[in-house]
Amino acid sequence: MPETAIAEAPAKAGTGEKILQVRNLEAWYGESHILHGINFDVNAGEVVTLLGRNGAGKTTTLKSIMGIIGKRTGSVQFNSQDIIRATSDKIARMGIAFCPEERGIFSSLDVRENLLLPPVVRAGGLPLEQIFDLFPNLKERLNSQGTKLSGGEQQMLAIARILRTGASFLMLDEPTEGLAPVIIQQIGHTIARLKKEGFTILLVEQNFRFASTVADRYYVVEHGKIIDGFSNSELAANMDKLHTYLGV
């Protein structure tokens, strides 16, 4: 499927308004050229998943959008404003939040302190009461240090922390990595609720079986390029290709 066709593919969900448009995005780690002209769109109110093998460039794509890659070129339009040259703090203030795979929990701080540490950068952040409604485990563990949380609780805390900031566009990097099936199911329910409440989500996920329970559309990343894209309704028809792409 040609990249230009992927980039212009209409949304199957959400409002139809393109909130994020990525065009010809290239990125480097030092001398290593990682992204080679990434093109895709995300529409307001939908969940879009980037699929691909380890090292394909999925995480680098998120970091490039967030402005935490040293060298990047191309165009990243967020709400019709080009942010390719913006700093990460300015990007955060525009309403984009990044939840990394490593979660970044402060082990010496308790749950309450981890939640309250990030600043509120714009209006619209969820109050703690609403966060605890999404993640009741966190309320029970409010005074527990980060080191005493399970992997699932750490992931919940990492997502909860960015919901306070006022961000409306969430980028989640491998949120189910290493988690038990029951916790993966809970993360899926949370993503569905966040979408229902108006959040837009860009998800990096290797587990396409999980992704199929939450995503509206998919893009496949390989060698730093988007090589295919389809909607959730087209997933069954593309399973053979996905097995080839992902090596599963």
List the CATH number of the domain containing 41: 3.40.50.300
Rg (C-alpha) for the chain, rounded Å, is 17
Q: Which backbone phi and psi does 64 adopt, to 5 degrees?
A: -65, -40
Q: What is the pTM of this model?
A: 0.90
Instruction: Give the phi and the psi of residue 156 in degrees, each rounded to 5.
Output: -60, -45
169 forms beta bridges with: 96, 200
Q: Give how far Cα 9 sits from Cα of 81, 122, 203, Å.
A: 20, 31, 18
Looking at residue 123, the DSSP 8-state letter turns out to be T
Q: What angle do CA 204, 206, 211 make, to 5 degrees?
A: 70
- Residue 245 near residue 51 (C-beta atoms within 8 A): yes
State the total domains in the chain. Answer: 1
Q: Which two tokens stand for residue 159?
A: 């997502």
Distance from chain centroid for Cα 55: 17
Give the count of alpha carbons within 13 A of 214, CB side only. 31
Positions of E strands within 124-193: 169-173
pLDDT for the residue 6 = 32
What's residue 10's pLDDT? 32
- C-alpha to C-alpha distance for 22 and 60, rounded to whole angstroms: 13
Q: What is the pLDDT along the chain (248 residues), one digit of tens a residue?
A: 333 333 333 333 445 699 999 999 999 999 999 999 999 999 999 999 999 999 999 999 999 999 999 899 999 999 999 999 999 999 999 999 999 988 888 888 999 999 998 888 888 889 999 999 999 999 999 999 988 899 899 999 999 999 999 999 999 999 999 899 999 999 999 999 999 999 999 999 988 889 999 999 999 999 999 999 999 999 889 999 988 998 85
Range of the domain at 84: 3-246
